[in-house]
Structure 1
Amino acid sequence: MSTRALPRSGSVVLGREDDADVCVPDASVSRRHATLHLGPPLRIEDLGSSNGTRVRTRHSSAATERLIDVGKGAPARNAAVELSPGDVIYLGAARVILRQKGGERDARKDVIVKDSAMRAVYELAERVARGPINILLLGETGVGKEVLAESIHRASPRAQRPLLRLSCVALSESLLESELFGHERGAFTGAVRAKPGLLETAEGGTVFLDEIGELPLSIQAKLLRVIEERKVMRVGGLTPTKIDVRFISATHRNLEAEVSRGAFRQDLYFRLNGVTLTIPPLRERPGEVAALAQLFAERTAKELFPSEASAGTVPISPAALVGLQRHSWPGNIRELRNVI
């Protein structure tokens, strides 16, 4: 793996030929494969490559990784796809990862831990992060399970490798299988080229499976085999590929109850549940409401008014804070963020 610094603005050509701005020496990459427009906004545009350009991008604030086909063959007008730091670009079979200099946005600033129960959760999370054991995060919808998963990944020896997220409830069973395990060319209608799955893409890193309780039983059986054998078989494949990933799973469901009623495999539950961390709902930690509200207000102001120096200071009136702290927040932090 090699690293290449990019200019602050303009455009760079990615391709196999030596005089490309960023040379990607892979047989599946065209001589002039794609153009990376450094913006803002940051965009990728296919230049009529033979094997196409795809982007694995995190959509908005959801914990879902999307694969977007930028194109192949004749270049199409206005076919550029907007990117963000952390997105993965596939040039044919070659992989290019965009990283922001000095690391991505410091997610630690987004973590508000004032409640004693939350401090205990994060202290335990920091300890278990250093080992290889799989972790199960429990809590109501919107309590901050994804933020905790990011914190665990940053504190782990895998911090410099990918953290890839997949929402088990966002995709159909067939798409979920393809996203997790990948597929070979011709494995099904529309599979015009081979595609590595999430488990292969996250090699050496962490896979965050959000809403694991919604995983269909057929996919549960295949995931169990992957965890036990540390090998993944693509859909339509004949030879498994070795993988090295750590699993962090999250759910709002009571998985023990799901096991009892036959909706979740007990053996998979034991494999994923190396350590369980339970995040309390926001109504049980009212002392964090004011700090979270301030964080969301300042972040929103900076996004709406990026050129104004005063956008980083957004006062919230005492009366408003009292009203926020009195609310029960059934939607937890997600609801508070939307309200602000």
Structure 2
Amino acid sequence: MTGPVNPVARVGGRFRLLVVADNAVLAIHSLPEAGSVTIGRGEDNLIQIDDESISRRHAILHVGPVMTIEDLGSSNGTKFRDLTIEPHAPHELGVNELVTLGSLTVIIQGRFTPPQTSRIATHDYFQARLEEECSRAERTGAQFAVLGIRVSGVASESAVVEALMMTLRQSDVLAKQGERAYELLLIDSPRDQAELVAQRLLGCLEAVNAKATHVVVGYPDDSRSAYELMTRIVGGGDETAAGDDLIIAEQSMRDLYALISRIARSDLPVLILGETGVGKEKMSRAVHQYSPRASHPFLAINCAALNDALLESELFGHERGSFTGANTVKTGLLEAATGGTVFLDEIGDMSLAIQAKLLRVIEDGEVRKVGAIKSTKIHVRFVAATNTDLETATEQGRFREDLYFRLSAATLVIPPLRERPNEIELLASRFANRASMRASGSAKALTPAALAMLKRYSWPGNIRELRNVIERAVLLCGESSIALEHLPAEKMRGTFVRAPTNNTGTDAGTPEEDRAAPDRAPPDLGDERARILGALEKAGGNQSKAAALLGMSRRTLINRLEEYKLPRPRKGRSTRA
């Protein structure tokens, strides 16, 4: 049997090997950063274990990015997870896993590193550790979580890092993701525990005057892929990915993307509803990227941009000579996307004739080119989007009810930007930074008055309009910060989301008062129920006009009427409380 515990060498790599018997540590051996380490009773082994159950050359440990152990034909064998491993067949093992050599147990552990004042890693190191943790969890069935945090406010970076470090354990990994953005790897923490950690972190940040938004994803609940986990916390990797401009700072959007991650695993068609500019195509890409089809094509087409003949040719393809100008065979989008996802944008503008053909494709899983005799089998996932009320369209005979039911198997409704106020500042800052980088200038900040104006505006064009406004402001402001004079203030003042006017016809949000006190905080939105009643009164009971006055979609207005138990009025008649 081995004697007293050996001193741990101060050289070597990140790992050490413990020899254990009868619940007591008999020896501790430092392991190199990489290489092969022989284990046995003989003196010629790098790790000598003087025990009768250990052969002279018992096993060899291969240390590197992937760690393996190999039995060398020992007398009493080597066991891993209670199974005897075959001689000379390397078996992969991870940190803290138990291996039985003869009658002894050996454990590989990570070295303890004393706490440091700053323990923030690079993004590249974080990605490598995340991949390593995914591999370990796949082998052991462990759970862990990844946390993304985006910080705003006046706190310095050192104060932010110190606040984050106060809550983290030594085993957790904190890295810099980008400007005022951080990523954390919470080892052996299920998703629900990670949410509690996130709340403690937000409390620590608030104590140093730093506001923050966060996203938590868990392994294996949300994904088993390191790439997908990173995509979900950073919002995608490139300009065409689903996460471009993706900022999630509202619970409604967090719930929506959690739903997407579940829906994406199936082949159900998805219908995405939302106003113009809310990001319907980006959400459709998220459905594709989170699905098993992510490695296959994602093809999109705008149904409103083409006439019937062109749309039919683009979707279904055509044979040579099937019509004037068809000089070659054309493969349609539906056939080209087989195995992947087809995104049909503005499907509410598709004609009834094309709707009938699309329905047949969805039901039969076959597509026939224009002018062809035979059909071709396809296997695609359909995602459709529209900013129109398809329920009303079906009632009016403008959209096929059977197609609507097939497409709406899973429906996602994206709230407009005015209902996601916490995201306006974050989006505006991102757009300003990107526009500044394209212009080879320094990052542009927003003055308090400009930011207040952005938050008060109703954004009928949603994220697309916000991007255009900020990009214009970056060009106008030169080297200074973005101020009120760089925004289309007159237009924006005319479409505030605010409480109805009082009996004198004036309120705290008049353009004259805005000019006099531009730094005033945005006014209280007031009683929404009263605003709805006022808008319906002005619109004479016309719900579409009332919705436009309120800066919301007709569907949102209908939902509010139901929420406040207000009867839906007939045209020409107002609703009274």
Give the TM-score normalised by structure 2: 0.40
Q: CA deviation at 1:304?
A: 3.0
State the distance in 2 between where 1:103 and 1:240 align: 38
Equivalent AA in structure 1 for residue 448 of structure 2: P
State the distance in 2 between where 1:251 and 1:284 align: 19
Q: CA deviation at 1:109?
A: 4.7
**Higher gyration radius (CA):** 2
Q: CA deviation at 1:319?
A: 2.0
Of 120, 128, 138 in structure 1, the residue corresponding to residue 273 of structure 2 is: 138
Aligned to 1:339: 469
Aligned to 1:317: 447
Q: CA deviation at 1:116?
A: 1.3
1:284–1:210 CA distance, 2 compared to 1 (3 A)? same
Aligned to 1:113: 248
The secondary structure found in structure 2 opposite 1:339 is helix
State the distance in 2 between where 1:299 and 1:293 align: 10
Query: For each residue in 1:135-164, what CA deviation from the matched residue of structure 2 results, as whole angstroms up to 9, or x when unmatched?
Result: 000111111111111111110101111111
Of 327, 333, 336 in structure 1, the residue corresponding to residue 457 of structure 2 is: 327
**% of aligned pairs identical?**
57
> How many matched pairs?
234
State the distance in 2 between where 1:191 and 1:235 align: 10
Q: CA deviation at 1:317?
A: 2.2
State the distance in 1 between where 2:271 and 2:280 align: 10
State the distance in 1 between where 2:245 and 2:418 align: 19
Aligned to 1:253: 388
Alpha-carbon RMSD: 1.6
- Give the ranges of 4+ consecutive aligned residues of structure 1 lying more than 6 Å apart after TM superposition: none
Unaligned runs of 5+ in 2: 1-235, 471-577
State the distance in 2 between where 1:136 and 1:188 align: 33
Aligned to 1:188: 323
Q: CA deviation at 1:103?
A: 7.5
Q: Matches of residues 198-213 of structure 1 in structure 2 within 5 Å?
A: 198-213=333-348
The secondary structure found in structure 1 opposite 2:243 is helix
State the distance in 1 between where 2:356 and 2:320 align: 23
Higher relative contact order (CA 8 A, sep 6+): 1
Give the TM-score normalised by structure 1: 0.66
Q: CA deviation at 1:107?
A: 4.2
Equivalent AA in structure 2 for residue 228 of structure 1: E
Aligned to 1:129: 264
State the distance in 1 between where 2:373 and 2:285 align: 34
Aligned to 1:60: none
The secondary structure found in structure 2 opposite 1:110 is coil
Q: CA deviation at 1:298?
A: 1.8
Q: CA deviation at 1:296?
A: 1.3
Q: CA deviation at 1:318?
A: 2.2
State the distance in 2 between where 1:188 and 1:303 align: 45
Of 215, 221, 235 in structure 1, the residue corresponding to residue 356 of structure 2 is: 221
Unaligned runs of 5+ in 1: 1-101
Q: CA deviation at 1:301?
A: 2.3
Aligned to 1:284: 419
State the distance in 1 between where 2:341 and 2:372 align: 23
Of 167, 171, 176 in structure 1, the residue corresponding to residue 306 of structure 2 is: 171
Q: CA deviation at 1:302?
A: 2.6
State the distance in 1 between where 2:461 and 2:296 align: 32
The secondary structure found in structure 1 opposite 2:458 is coil
The secondary structure found in structure 2 opposite 1:166 is strand
